[in-house]
Structures are given as structure tokens and as C-alpha cells.
Amino acid sequence: MKFLVDRPFADPDAAARKLLEIANSVEAVQDGRIHIEDQLAVLNGPCDQGRTPSEYKAGLEFAAAKGWLWMHESGTYVRFTELARRCLRDLAVTLRLYAAPIR
């Protein structure tokens, strides 16, 4: 008998990577700012997969500690760091290579 449900975002690394994916899909406003409420709107949408605020916060802190996101001291928005931009660019190139038809 199983009493606990799987929590895929209980791991801060997985949560941080999902946040990067969400932040990359949200349109940035002035100076590359990605507002937290835009991320939360996507996160709490119909496919939120049971994420909790504590998992979201742990993911944000992990991403900031890794140097992927820079969070404003007010906590209202984040920005991608250069490291995150490079990682996302590399990922996009890798995905294009795998999606290309084999000749």
C-alpha cells in the first residue's frame, strides 16, 4: 500500500530546472525582467502537477545558488544570468540536433 504521492519537484534541482524552463517560456519585460507572478501563473495553471510554494521557493533558491537566475532583492522578478543563457542556448542546439531527420 502506498500512502505518499510522488513529488517530482521535491528535489530542488528538478524544481530549479522546471523554473528555468518556465522562465524561458515567459516573455521578459524591460531589461530582461521575468516577473514572479508570470512564473506563478504558469506554475499554478491547469497542469501544475502538484507543486507547492515551498518547492517553488527551494527551486528559486537553488537556481540562484547555482548562478542560473538573479533575483531582485524585492523578490518581484528574476533575470537569467549569462550562465543560464549559455545553458539554454546549448540545450536548444542539442534539441535541434536530435529533432533533425536522420538522412
Q: Which domains does the chain have, with CATH numbers?
A: 12-99 (1.10.10.10)
**pLDDT truncated to tens, each residue of the chain (103 aa)?**
554 666 777 788 888 888 888 788 878 888 888 888 777 666 655 555 667 778 888 888 888 898 888 888 888 888 888 888 887 787 776 656 555 444 4
pLDDT at 25: 80
* The pLDDT of residue 58: 87
pLDDT for 41? 66
Q: C-alpha cell of 13?
A: 534541482
Question: 53-56 contacts: CB < 8 A, separation 24 or more?
Answer: 55/7, 55/9, 55/10, 55/15, 56/9, 56/15, 56/19
